[in-house]
A and B are shown apart, each in its own frame.
Chain A
Amino acid sequence: MIKNTGRKLLRNKSAMFGLMIILILLLMGLFAGRIASHDPTLVDITNKLAPSSKEYPLGTDQMGRCILCRLIYGIEISMFTAIKVTFIILLVGVPLGMIAGYCGGIADNLVMRLADIASTFPSTLLALAVVGIFGPSLDHLVLVFIFLWWAPFARMVRSSVIKLKETEFVMAAEAAGCSRRDIIMKHIFPNTLSPVIVYATLRIAAVITHIAGFSFIGLGSQPPAPDWGVMLNDGRQYIDTHPGMLFWPGLAIVIVVFAFNLFGEGLNDALIPAEEEMAVVKETGDSNE
């Protein structure tokens, strides 16, 4: 399975293309300090709205800050944050789903009702409420995403666990005297992973667009942070005179989201057999977006 998956994934050109973009951007983000020649928040009014030049490849914004440098530092805010958030969502959702599926009964009921609550909240509305109460900040936004988006993962894992619990190989493991921990960790957990990995990859893209979206309307990262959403907002007033200010951050978001979606689709093809694909789509068709 693992061998085949790798091969299938390697052969999938669009998935590899997506992965390449993701890796290049991640490296750029990691070494932002070395690549970017300017401080992304350094204001230089004398040099504002400069056209593209050798020193400022994409020009400068209304405060004279290097647009390319801000985009590169923005990788950390959007991609790194999104990956971190998705990871935390997994850390919350997957174990809860395992508990619900494996234990059943009251635990299952409790977790699933919490999941119901989480998935009935529109994320935009809750984000507005939280930001309204605690003030706009990326951290508050991130908390909202974690609070709401663990639910589809828990559901997905739960349903796989329930299916796996009844399989003969789990019974065989029990009959061989495996401890409960071994059965969960070795026999159930690895078999729940494929849909989770696929969905998590797609979820990263969703988190990126949400962060950018909320920052754009001023509820996420605050200026002068080099957030792509903030940059879009800055560029709004200059759309007629300097469309580049709007264009470049927009393009950055599109590229990243595109890359994650390509990669996620490729993983989907490689990891999940066709007849199960429908099930994953159905289980994750939540009303969050």
Chain B
Amino acid sequence: MILMSNTPVLQIKNLKTYFYSRDSVVKAVDGVNMEVHSGRITALIGGSGSGKSVMSRSVMGLIDKPGKIVDGEIWLNGRDLRLLSEKEMRKVRGKEIAMIFQEPAAAMNPVVKIKDHLFEAVHTHDRKARRKDKMPAFREVLLGVGLRDPDKILESYPFELSGGMCQRVMVAMGIVANAGVLIADEPTSSLDLTTQISILEELMSLRDAGIAIILITHDLGVVAQTADDMYVMKDGKIIESGTVREVFAAPKHPYTRYLMEPVHVEELR
């Protein structure tokens, strides 16, 4: 196992994100503490509605009304993201933290070509970038994520690609933006098994390149295969955490044990 560096690249302290309706409060994330290290895959696991997606959106600062981050600190590269203005936050998104989504085909604008998607990921943070200069790099990255015909793919629209290809492009977008932290929100749940494995392999090679990855999933099999650390979330709270090896060897919380029974893994989906 890679040596754990002492200071985490992303540290979340006592994060609370609540959603307000007329007469009730939903505590989607309720006092979460989490550490994410470079060169490691940190899995965040939990059932539907456990708050794991809200948690990732909170980190990105993408919580809209009626939701609100009411308390906590999000430390990234020595700054508390909660204290940044929207404009400063925009510079963090994509550049320091990139995100890939569950439905890769839906996460890309149908009227924008792949090359323009990739270019946007660069251009958003580097206004001087020129499309022409970047094309060789894009080709390289697409080859790197296992897409064999980069020239054709660059000229394609998202709906002309398969789900797996779209997800590889999403990963490529994360790479060209050169972000140190990558949040993958259920990146494989809409893909078939073989594609799933190869996407996970891409994520693992990104980890080996030193990127910190937060892998949000409900699939313990995926966690066991790929992750280094894991956090189990239930009803907005972290109920168990540790390295994957530790937790799998001796799950302390009954809910974790419940999840690990094969029948319930199926139920979770």
Contacts and interface: CB of A to CB of B under 8 A. Distances in A.
B106 interface: yes
Interface in A165-215: 167-169, 171-179, 182, 186-187, 190-191
Contact of B94 (A1, A175, A186, A191): A175
A2 interface: yes
Contacts, number: 72
B84 interface: no
B contact patch SS: loop
A191 B158 CA distance: 14
Contacts of A178: 90, 94, 120, 124
Interface stretch (B71-79, B97-105, B217-225, B240-248): B97-105
Contacts of A175: 60, 62, 93-94, 98-99
B161 interface: no
A271 B217 CA distance: 37
B215 interface: no
B153 to A, nearest CB: 15
A108 B140 CA distance: 45
Interface size class of B (residues with CB under 8 A): 20 to 34
B62 A171 contact: yes
Contact of B106 (A1, A167, A176, A191): A167
Given A175-B60, A176-B121, A191-B109, A1 B157 contact: yes
Contact of B120 (A1, A2, A171, A186): A186
A169 B121 contact: no
B99 A177 contact: no
A171 B53 CA distance: 13
A8 to B, nearest CB: 15
B168 interface: no
In the complex, the 3 A-B pairs of residues with the closest C-beta atoms, listed nearest first: A177-B94, A177-B93, A176-B94
